[in-house]
Chains A and B, each alone.
Chain A
Amino acid sequence: MAINRRNFLKAATGSALTAIVAEEAQAFSPRETKELPPKAVGMLYDSTLCIGCKACVAACKQANDQPLEILESQQGWNEGAWDSAIDISAKTLNVIKAYTNGEMTQKDREVDGYAFMKRHCLHCVDPSCVSVCPVSAMQKDPITGVVTHNPDACIGCRYCVVGCPFSVPQFDYETPFPQIHKCQFCSHLQAQGKLPACCDVCPTGASLFGDVRELKEEAKRRLGAEEGEVYEFPRGKLGGDRDSHTAQIPKYQKDFYGDTELGGTQVMYLSGVPFDKLGLPTNVPDKSYASISEGIQHTLYKGMIAPLTLLSGLLFMAYRNRKHHDDDEQSPKEDL
Chain B
Amino acid sequence: MSVHQPLGGKLLTTPFIILSFFALIGGVLMLERFIFGLGAVSNLNNGYAWGIWIAIDVVIGTAFGCGGFVMAILIYIFNKGEYHPLIRPAVMASLFGYTLGGTAVMFDLGRYWQIYNVFLPWYGQLNSVMFEVALCVTGYIIVLWIEFTPVFLERLGIVGLRKKLEKFLFIIVAIGVLLPTMHQSSLGTLMVSMGFKLYPLWNTTLLPVIFLITAIIMGYAIVTFEALLSSAGFQRPYDTTILNKISGITWILLLVYLVIRFTDLIMREQLGLVLVGDLNSIMFLLENLFFVIPVVILASRAKRNSPYFLFISAISMLLAASLLRINTYLIGFNPGGGWSYFPSIAEIMVTVGIFSFEIMLYLIFVKTLPVLHRVEA
From A87, A133, A289, give the contact of B128 (CB < 8 A).
A133
Asked if A131 meets B36 with Cβ closer than 8 Å, knowing A21-B260, A155-B109, A165-B196, the reply is no
**Would A21 and B209 be within 8 Å (CB), given that A131-B128, A155-B109 are in contact?**
yes
Cα–Cα, bound, A298→B127 (Å): 8
Q: Is B316 on the interface with A (CB-CB < 8 A)?
A: no
Does A178 lie within 8 Å of B38, measured CB to CB? yes
In the complex, whether A163 has a CB less than 8 A from a CB of chain B is yes
| A157-186 residues at the B interface, CB under 8 angstroms | 157-159, 161-163, 165, 167, 169-180
Q: Is the CB of B336 within 8 A of A167?
A: yes
Residue of B nearest to A156 (CB): B110
CA distance A279 to B118 in the complex (A): 34
Query: Closest approach, in angstroms, between the C-beta of A261 and any C-beta of chain B?
Result: 11
Q: Which of B98-148 contact A (CB under 8 A)?
A: 108-112, 114-115, 117-118, 120, 122-125, 127-132, 134, 147
The winner among A135, A177, A179 for most chain B CB atoms within 10 A is A135
Tell whether A134 is near chain B: CB-to-CB under 8 Å.
yes
- CB B121 to nearest CB in A, in angstroms, measures 10
A307 CB-CB contact with B under 8 Å: yes
Interface 9-mer from A101-109, A224-232, A310-318: A310-318
A62 at the interface (CB under 8 A from B): no
Which of B46, B174, B252 contacts A161, CB < 8 Å? Answer: B46
Residues of A with C-beta under 8 A to B264: 25
Band of interface residues on A: 35 or more
Task: List A contacts of B84 (CB < 8 A).
Answer: 332, 335
Provide the A256-293 mask, 1 if CB < 8 A to any CB of B, else 0.
Answer: 00000010000000000000000101011000011011
Find residues 145-180 in chain B having any chain A CB closer than 8 Å to their own CB: 147, 150, 169-171, 173-175, 177-178
Digit string of B5-41 for contact with A (CB within 8 Å is 1, else 0)? Answer: 0000000000000000000000000000011111110
| B interface with A by C-beta (< 8 Å) | 2-4, 34-40, 42, 44-50, 75-79, 81, 84, 87-88, 91, 108-112, 114-115, 117-118, 120, 122-125, 127-132, 134, 147, 150, 169-171, 173-175, 177-178, 181-182, 185, 189-190, 192-197, 205-206, 208-209, 252, 256, 260, 264, 333, 335-337, 339
A-B contact list, 29 entries, CB within 8 Å? A9-B78, A21-B209, A24-B206, A28-B205, A128-B193, A133-B128, A135-B124, A136-B124, A153-B123, A154-B110, A155-B111, A156-B114, A157-B108, A157-B110, A158-B49, A159-B128, A162-B49, A171-B49, A174-B40, A176-B37, A279-B337, A281-B336, A297-B129, A310-B178, A315-B170, A315-B171, A318-B173, A319-B170, A334-B4
Interface set of A (CB-CB < 8 Å, partner B): 9, 14, 17, 20-21, 24-25, 28, 87, 89-90, 128, 131-137, 151-159, 161-163, 165, 167, 169-180, 262, 279, 281, 283-284, 289-290, 292-298, 300-301, 307, 310-311, 314-315, 317-319, 321-322, 324-325, 331-332, 334-336
| Given A173-B44, A178-B38, A317-B77, 5 new contacts (CB under 8 A) | A134-B125, A170-B46, A321-B77, A334-B3, A336-B147
